[in-house]
Amino acid sequence: MPDTQRAETQFLNSPDAALLTRVADGDMTAMKALYMAHADAVGRFVRSRVHDEGEVADIVHDTMLKVWRAASGFQGRASVRSWILTLARNCAVDHIRKQSRISLGDADQTLPDDAPDPEAVVNATQEATRLRTCIEGLPERQRSVVHLAFYEDLTFAEISRIESIPEGTVKSRIHHAKKLLMRCLSLAGRK
């Protein structure tokens, strides 16, 4: 098999791809398993773009409905996870367009009940809030690739497929985002 053909179908033999094939055949049990495996990641991804939990739930639902309807269209050129996150991205963009507003996410964080050192917890919470604020201040294109790389732990190639941009652009956006984050965090630390 030529390398290009192998590369284009390398993800067809994964367990998730087998589930997706069953979903394409109308198997609700397979859909439930696929939902259980990916809904949390879809939710985290959508939350990086939309802060209202009701809207997040709607977009996750719409995404999984698209998975159900489009399962037969999966071609194996990306992992099932990347394919589903691409659908989630498209649903989120559609939703944002419909709402004609962009939300940046919720900066609230709950403190753990059993925190041994309250001062350390406060410091960590403040640092996390500063980081979240700095990430929210990034341009949407950089914020999206940062979320996919560091919160969803996706490869540059997977991010490239999800965002429909060249891999080099992913690397460039992450590089520039890191610079902006370092600058933002150093300024936030001085306040």
Q: What is the chain's alpha carbon radius of gyration, rounded to the nearest angstrom?
A: 19
The rounded mean pLDDT for the chain is: 82
Q: What is the pLDDT of residue 11?
A: 72
Higher pLDDT, 65 or 106: 65
Q: What is the pLDDT of residue 106?
A: 42
Residue ranges of the chain assigned to CATH 1.10.10.10: 118-190
Asked if 46 and 67 count as a contact pair (C-beta separation under 8 A), the reply is no
Q: Does this model's pTM top 0.75?
A: no
Asked if 158 and 147 count as a contact pair (C-beta separation under 8 A), the reply is no
Answer yes or no: is pLDDT of 111 > 90.
Answer: no
- pLDDT exceeding 70 applies to what percent of the chain? 80
Cite the DSSP H helix spans in the chain.
3-8, 15-24, 28-47, 53-70, 80-99, 118-136, 140-146, 156-163, 167-190
Residue from 106, 101, 91, 92 nearest 53 by CA: 106
Higher pLDDT, 28 or 48: 28
Which numeric CATH code is attached to 118-190?
Answer: 1.10.10.10
Going by C-beta distance under 8 Å and a sequence separation of 6 or more, which residues neighbour residue 93?
none
Residue ranges of the chain assigned to CATH 1.10.1740.10: 3-99
Residues 114-148 have pLDDT tens digits of: 444 666 666 677 777 888 888 889 998 999 999 89
The CATH number of domain 3-99 is 1.10.1740.10: yes
Q: What is the pLDDT of residue 6?
A: 47
